[in-house]
Amino acid sequence: MGESLLASVVFLKLADFARRSVTEQARMRAQLEAVIAVTTAELEPTDRVVLDAPDGVAVVVLADPAGALRLAERALHAAAAGLPLAAGLNHGAVQVRDEKGEARVEGDGIAVAAQAANFAPPAELLASRAFREALASAAPGREARLGVAGTFTDAGLRAHAFFRVDATAQARRVRRHAVLGILVAAGLVGASVAVRVAAVGHDAFVQRLEQGYEGALRAGGDALRGWAKKAGL
């Protein structure tokens, strides 16, 4: 025990928890636990550790950053009705410690996720750069969902660059790549035509093109007729 391993950490923080009345704190905590029970159901129990934080819950997800992102998004969605929840995600070192027989989990992985949750407004999530990189490594392309949120400075004057979910970013990226593909394809065909025109001359190229077109039409017509004959039509 004691070696630091890397894991994705989802820190779910209840906004202004400490300022609320104890009755409200108890209600919110019970609600949060219900949300966690629902959202962690899709993960194998051997893939996640649920930890109690003073003002929320941290879930350590092993070897599945995409699962961690899904969990955070689902938790925020589930909590949308009345629970002021903010999420922070990080991928970093976590360590298990045994203290008088009680297991404790600590590490930068949790600290940065907690910091991200501190900066996140209610119903939003902020993810660290390390999490974005882990997501890119585990599920290439999914990191496109996380757009730059900005740089945040904590009380210790440390600057943190965080990313937030941009729901349409991934679709935009796919469209962008598709348009680029079409342009590349059109460019290649256009270049090929230009080379041929330069080589054989414009009239000869047009003539070959027409011959090729007619030949293709003929070949197509013959093939259609042959198929109809075979089919007894």
Partner 1 sequence: MAKKAPRRIGRYKILEELGRGAMGVVYRAEDPALERVLALKTIRLAEDMEGREDYQRRFMLEAKAAGKLTHPNIVTTFDFGEEADIAYLAMELLEGTDLRTCLLENSLSTAEAVDVVAQVAEGLGFAHERGVVHRDIKPGNIMLLERGTAKIMDFGVARMRSADFKTSTGLVLGTPRFMSPEQITGGPVDGRSDIFSLGSVLYELLTRAPLFAGEDAAQIAHNVTNLEHAPPSRANPQVTSMLDFVVARALKKDPALRYQDAYEMASDLRACLAEVRERHAEAVRKGNETDGTRTVKLEAGEARAAASPALAIGSDTDLRLSPRFDSAGALRRLAHPSGRDLARLAARPRRPGLLKRLLRDEAPRRLAATALAGALAALGVAWLL
Give the footprint of partner 1 on residues 14-33 (CB under 8 A).
18-19, 21-23, 25-26, 29, 33
Exactly one of 38, 80, 103, 219 binds partner 1 (CB under 8 A); that residue is 103
Q: Smallest distance from the beta carbon of 77 to partner 1, in angstroms?
A: 20
Nearer to partner 1, 18 or 233 (CB): 18
Near partner 1 by CB under 8 A, which window of 66-74, 150-158, 159-167, 185-193? 185-193
Nearer to partner 1, 148 or 228 (CB): 148
- Per the listing, tokens 């027409």 go with 210
Exactly one of 121, 141, 220, 226 binds partner 1 (CB under 8 A); that residue is 141
Near partner 1 by CB under 8 A, which window of 79-87, 147-155, 156-164, 191-199? 191-199
Give the dihedral sign, CA 222/223/228/231: positive
Nearer to partner 1, 191 or 228 (CB): 191
- DSSP, collapsed to helix, strand or coil, labels residue 168 as coil
Interface with partner 1, residue 99, by CB under 8 A: yes
Instruction: Compute φ and ψ for 122, nearest 5 degrees.
Output: -55, 145
Q: Smallest distance from the beta carbon of 13 to partner 1, in angstroms?
A: 10
Exactly one of 177, 217, 219, 224 binds partner 1 (CB under 8 A); that residue is 177
User: How many chain residues bind partner 1 (CB under 8 A)?
Assistant: 86
Exactly one of 212, 220, 221, 226 binds partner 1 (CB under 8 A); that residue is 212
Interface with partner 1, residue 161, by CB under 8 A: no
Instruction: Please report, as residue ranges, which positions from 36 to 55 form the binding site for partner 1 (by CB under 8 A).
Output: 36-37, 40, 44-54
